[in-house]
Chains A and B, each alone.
Chain A
Amino acid sequence: MKSLKKALYSQKVAPYVFVLPFILSFIFFWIYPLFSTIKMSFQSILPGEIEWVGLDNYRKLLKDSVFHLAIRNSFTYMIWTLILLIPFPMIFACIMDGHLVKAKGFFKALLYMPALTSVVVAGTLFRLMFAEMETSQMNQIVQWFGLEPVKWLKGKHTGMLALLVICCWRWTGVNMLYYLSGLKSIDKSLYESAEIDGASGFKRFWYIQVPLLKPTTIYVLTISIYGGLAMFLESFMLWNGNASPNNIGLTIVGYLYRRGIEKNQLGYASAVGLVLFVMALIVNIVQLIWNGSFKKEDR
C-alpha cells in the first residue's frame, strides 16, 4: 500500500496521473465514437435491424447532388471566411497596436461584444434584419443607395452574403484580439531599428509584423478552416430550421443533421460525417506541413 502511494507520488508516475482524464476522455468520447461512426457508415441502420451494406452509402453519396451542393456551400463559405477574417483583423490589430488609436480598451470591448451572443440571438436578429420586406434593415440600406429591395434569404448569393455578414460580425473582434496578443510578443526594439532604417508604416507592417505574426496566423487559419467547414447553426438559425429554399444554406453538417437526426438514417449520415472528417484532416495536414509546424521545434 505504501509502495503504491510512493509510486503514485514519484516523478515518473505523476505525469500519467495528470493526463489520465485526457486519456479516458480520448478513448470514450473520441476514439469510440469515431470508430462507431466509421462502422455505421458501412451499415444500413433501421430500428432493430442493422445490415452491412459495404460501400453502398458512399456510392449513394457520389451520386447525391444535394450532398454535392452542401459541400460546395461549405467550401465557399469557408474560403470567404479566410479571405475576410484573416487579413482585415490583422490590419485592424496593427493599426490599434500603435499609439495612434485613443480609447483602445473601449473599442476592443465593443468589437468583441458580438462574439458573446449565442447563435440563436445572432441568427434571429439577422434573419429579421435580412427579411424580404421593404421595411427591413438591409433593404432600407439598399434603398438608400437607390436600389430595389432584395429577397435576401431566397437567393443563392445573397443568402451566402447574409451568412458571411453574421460570421464577420461575430468573429472580426475575436480574431483581432488574437492578432493583438500576437503583436504584444514582437520585440519593440525591432520597430525602432526599422524606423532608423527608414521603414515605417506599410513597410513595417509588411516586413516585420506580417512575418512575425505567422504563429497567430497559423492558429487563426486552423480554427477558421475547421469552423468554416463545420458551420451549421448559423444557417439553421438564419433560415429558422434546417430547410432553406433550394438548399442555398445547406452545409455538410446541415446535411448530416438532416439525414441522421431528422430522417434517422444513421448509416448514411455517418458516411457524410466521414467525408467531412477526411476533408478536415486533409486541409489541416496540408496547412500544417506548408507552415512547417511538424518540424520539432516546440522545445
Chain B
Amino acid sequence: MAKQKDSFNIEKKMGMTLKTRILSVIATLFFAILGFIVVFPFIVMVIASFRPGKDIIRYGLALKIDFDVMSLNNYKYLFFGGDHSYFTWFKNSMVLTLLTVVLTLTICYFVAYGLSMYDFKLRNFLFFLVIATMMVPFEILMLPLFQEMIDLKLIDTTAGVILPGLVSASTVFFFRQYMMGLPKELLDAGRIDGATEYGICIKIMFPVTKPAFAAMAILTSMGAWNSMLWPLLVYRSANKFTLPIGLNSLLTPYGNNYDLLIAGSCFAVLPIFVVFLAFQKYFIEGLTAGAVKG
C-alpha cells in the first residue's frame, strides 16, 4: 500500500516537471518585477544624490541619468564641507541606537522571562496589561509624556528619549511567545543542579533565546535609528539631534537644502542596510522563532 502511494507520487512528480518549471519561471519573474518596483525609489534617490539640489527643486525627482550635471559635489560637501552638523547627528544616532538596543533587550528579556517561565498569581493580569499598552498608540500619550519629561527635567537629554520606550510591550510580547515554546524542563534541570532563579535565567535560558535576541536587536535598532516623533519633541539643541531630526531640519520654510539632504539620506540608509544584510539570516530565523524548538 505504501509502495503504491510512493510510485503514485513519483509518477505525479514526473508528469508535473514541465508545468512546474514554467510555473517556477513565472513565480520568479513575478518577484523580480515586484523587487524592481520596490528598489526603484532607491535607485532614483542614489542617482539624484549626484545631481545639484536646485535641479531637484526645479524638476522634482525622476529617474534621469544626465552626466552633464551629475557630479560628486554633494558628497564632497557632505564629507568635507564642514559647515554642517551631519556627522554630529550621525554619531548621536549611533549612540542612541546602541543604548536603546542594549537596555531594551536586556530589560524586556527579564520581563518576558518572568511572564513565561513562572506560574504566579498576577501573571495573566500582567500579560493582559502588556497587551493593553500595545493597544494604545504612543501618540496619545505623547503630550502628557512630554509634560512629564519637562517636570523631570529630562527634556533635551538622551535619557528622556530612551526611558518611556524602554520596556517595549511588543518586544516583551515577542520574547514571551518565543520562550513559551521552550521546554520548561530546562528550569527544573537547572534547579536540581543548584542554580538560582537568576542564574537559570542568565546562564541556561539566555543561550537558548539567542535567535530571538538577534531578531529583536535588528528590529529595535531599526526603530531607534529611524525614530523621529518622540526625539523631535525631546531634543531641543541642534548638536543633540539624531539623523532623522537633523535631516528634517534641512527642510525649512526659507528653502530646502537638497544638496545635503539627498546625499545625506543615502548615507543614512547605508548603515542599517549593512546591518540588515549581515544579520539577515538571524533576523528571518528570529521571526520564525516559534518553529525553533529545543
Contacts and interface: CB of A to CB of B under 8 A. Distances in A.
Interface of A: 9-12, 14-19, 21-23, 25-26, 28-30, 32-34, 36-37, 40, 92, 95-96, 98-103, 105-121, 124-126, 128-129, 131-133, 135-137, 139-140, 169, 172-173, 177-178, 180-181, 184-185, 195-196, 222, 226, 229-230, 232-233, 237, 240-241, 253, 256-257, 260-261, 266, 269-270, 273-274, 276-277, 280-281, 284, 298-299
Given A100-B24, A111-B35, A129-B62, A270 B143 contact: yes
Contact of B44 (A137, A180, A240): A137
A159 to B, nearest CB: 16
B110 A21 contact: yes
Contact of B265 (A92, A107, A124, A280): A124
Contact of B28 (A100, A110, A140, A232): A100
B111 A18 contact: yes
B171 to A, nearest CB: 11
Contacts of B198: 9, 14, 17
B172 interface: yes
Contacts of B34: 92, 107, 111
B135 interface: yes
B82 to A, nearest CB: 23
Contacts of B134: 222, 226
B239 interface: no
B204 interface: no
A120 B265 contact: yes
B291 interface: yes
A36 B147 contact: yes
Interface string B254-294: 00100001100100110011001100100010011111000
Contacts of B31: 92, 95-96, 101, 107, 111
B23 interface: yes
Interface in B36-63: 38-39, 41-42, 44-45, 48, 56, 58-63
B144 A15 contact: no
Contacts of A10: 197
Interface string B195-208: 01110010000000
B11 interface: no
Nearest to A192: B9
A252 B105 CA distance: 31
Nearest to A285: B135
A181 B147 contact: no
B226 A276 contact: no
B62 A135 contact: yes
A19 B39 contact: no
B137 A253 contact: yes
Contact of A116 (B61, B244, B276, B290): B276
A18 B114 CA distance: 5
Q: Say whether chain A's binding surface is mostly helix, strand, loop, or mixed.
A: helix
A178 to B, nearest CB: 7
Contacts of A273: 139-143
Contacts of B58: 133
B136 A280 contact: yes
Contact of A100 (B27, B138, B269, B284): B27
Contacts of A125: 41, 44-45, 61, 265
Nearest to B271: A116
B228 A118 contact: yes
Contact of A121 (B8, B114, B265, B280): B265
A109 B136 CA distance: 31
A92 B32 CA distance: 12
Nearest to B120: A15
A21 B139 contact: no
Contacts of B244: 118-120
A178 B58 CA distance: 41
Contacts of B90: none
Interface in B62-116: 62-64, 107, 110-111, 113-115
B159 interface: no
8 smallest CB-CB distances across A and B, nearest first, come from A18-B114, A131-B60, A136-B60, A128-B61, A230-B137, A118-B226, A33-B144, A14-B197
Nearest to B275: A116
Nearest to B262: A124
B182 interface: no
Given A9-B198, A100-B27, A184-B291, A119 B141 contact: no
A235 to B, nearest CB: 12
A25 B169 CA distance: 10
B28 A105 contact: no
